[in-house]
Structure 1
């Protein structure tokens, strides 16, 4: 959403995931995004499947040889939770991507975080759209990592909004609350323009993708026939789009829309992670509010809940700015133009 794109070097840490998939497509479609490494985090599905998905999407987008790393197999303390009911058995809904011949990096995700930040101090933006396990592990190795990054953008948490995993907790934080707590604490006291930008459910659940958005994206790609995703379709319905990128994305997002419908949220899909990706490229698309954020680790009913001290009542330095409002229509216009144009160029 900028007239003169300036290169944004990124470390992207994902648990791919349907909305993570579109976040990757968005970044691969963005000329200003320089993805230097993609870290795979266990979350929506186990970490090996996440890595396989990342490699397969890179193939589909005919991307250059971008490093994909494997992260931890499980959270720091808790057993791993996955959510195939939300994202499908492979994490990409009904899409069936060919297995990639690309291979994962020889270095693990935490090592990549540390080495890349040391190589390019003050240059890299970190984008985490899954649990924060890899980044927390990296900070344990290199406590100066928060100072070495230019910025961090996190999709996670819920503040003045219901949770999507427990009544008060958001998925990415709920999977590894200890990691989230450690990461937020590590960024304490940085200048405000260097504090992590947290994109919580409060704002990402306003990013509602509808069948009309899918149809518009397909039309921008020049795909035929018209792409129709309808709530009345059978769950066995699959896209017949002529454009492979449109076809696979449509099949992925159909699953996500069915999940939201079956949980009384409407036939739509909350695109949490693509919004965070857009913020990483252009923080100005969101208004933000500074806070000190921590995570409840012990509550019987509230473990994994993010708590924001907006007024300094804890007497601790601020460690985050929380995204509070945006223009969803403008975001979708941007996403449809970028990803639709990418699909048109590739196929």
Structure 2
């Protein structure tokens, strides 16, 4: 039996890898992909998502969603990391598929209610779409089997501020609402995604003989250079954050997790968007949030490289 999933994205470069990996998974059945603002505006992320599904020859509903955070203005796209078109300014072919009519939050609600107790939701974007679904339908949370969130910086620095990771920082109110809803959750944050490393040598070894491989090669080279510019730590590699969440959804044993009470700071001038993990010992009630703290990187990379079909010699 496969695992039915909804994938929630803001399709930039690592989202594209996540979508590609999910659509080619022998374990996951993608019932729909919901889109939102983040790496680019929702119109661009929706177009990029449709493009990846088209290149994968996957007939999957793509449902547009939030254009801004729940209650605050949107800070705008991040072209420094994802280019002005969200895919590293790679030359993009025309897209012929159209988005599915409707709204992402409503699609999440209807799909979960159609499969109560069976759905896994993988979020690799701001948590606005899922938060809106929970606000519309307060009885929805217990019907979700599993939530895998690419987001947070539990025991490491953030990547937008010293303490905040981008997907949480982008809508902390939504993140707090979702993480306090009682859904069984694996938090796949920077603590482990910075161990999911795609090296320059791997990228240069990609085949480039069809539209999909050419797009992923061009986009990922841009991503490598974007990371190299921000820190010498990333001299010859980039993290593929979002793809890791997909592989964790199908094989949670890829990561070592520890269960903690987790909250998101929403008001602090310096700490807004911080993932607050209560690691004190004490008689606390069981938390539904498992925080990923370690990764079996060789096993992940072997699975990721092999599944993509772009690397002639997977590790």
Structure 2 contact 82–88 (Cα < 8 Å) conserved:
yes
> What's the counterpart of residue 233 of structure 1?
none
Q: Distance in 2 between matches of 1:108 and 1:312?
A: 42
**Paired residue for 1:145?**
140
1:292–1:312 CA contact under 8 A, matched in 2: no
State the Cα RMSD in Å.
Answer: 1.7
- In the TM superposition, what whole-angstrom CA distance separates every residue of 1:128-185 from its partner, at most 9, and x where no partner exists? 0000000000001112222111100000000110100001100000100000000011
Answer with 1 or 2: which has the greater Rg: 1
Q: Alignment partner of 1:150: what SS?
A: strand
TM-score (norm 2): 0.94
Structure 1, unaligned runs of 5 or more:
1-5, 224-240
Once structures 1 and 2 are overlaid, which stretch shifts more, 49-58 or 140-149? 140-149
Match of 1:283 among 252, 257, 261: 252
- 1:263 corresponds to 2:230: yes
Q: Distance in 2 between matches of 1:314 and 1:91?
A: 46
Mapped partners of 2:289, 2:112: distance in 1: 20
CA shift, 1:123, in A, is 1.1
1:253 counterpart SS class = helix
Shift of 1:313: 6.0
Q: Which of the residues 45, 53, 62 maps onto 1:50?
A: 45
Partner of 1:226 in structure 2? none
Q: Is the 8 A contact 1:143 1:186 kept in 2?
A: no
Mapped to 1, the partners of 2:301 and 2:212 lie a distance apart of: 17
The partner residue of 1:100 within 90, 95, 100 is 95
Change (3 A) 1:55 1:279: same
SS in 1 for 2:291: strand
Q: Matches of 2:287 and 2:38 in 1, distance apart?
A: 28
Residue 214 of structure 2: aligned partner: 247
**How far apart, in 1, do the equivalents of 2:23 and 2:250 lie?**
12
**Alignment pair present for 1:295 and 2:264:** yes
Give yes or no for the alignment of 1:182 onto 2:151.
no
Counterpart check, 1:39 vs 2:19: no
Query: Do structure 1's residue 70 and structure 2's residue 64 form an aligned pair?
Result: yes
The answer to whether structure 1 residue 29 and structure 2 residue 18 are counterparts is: no
Cα shift at 1:281: 1.1
Alignment partners' CA distance in 1, 2:69 and 2:219? 26
Normalised TM-score (structure 1)? 0.85
Are residues 100 and 314 of structure 1, via their aligned partners in 2, closer, same or farther at CA, if it must alter by over 3 Å? farther
Q: 1:276/1:73 Cα in 2 relative to 1: closer, same or farther (>3 Å)?
A: same
Instruction: State the alpha-carbon separation in 1 of the partners of residues 133 and 254 from structure 2.
Output: 29
Alpha-carbon distance in structure 1 between the residues aligned to 2:242 and 2:174:
19
SS in 1 for 2:261: strand
Within-5 A mapping of 1:75-154: 75-81=69-75, 82-154=77-149
Pick which of 97-106 and 15-24 moved more.
Answer: 97-106
CA displacement at 1:327 relative to structure 2: 1.4
User: Deviations for 1:8-65, whole angstroms, at most 9, x for unmatched residues?
Assistant: 11100001110000011111221222110100011111111110000011111111x2
**CA–CA distance in 1 between the matches of 2:152 and 2:69?**
17
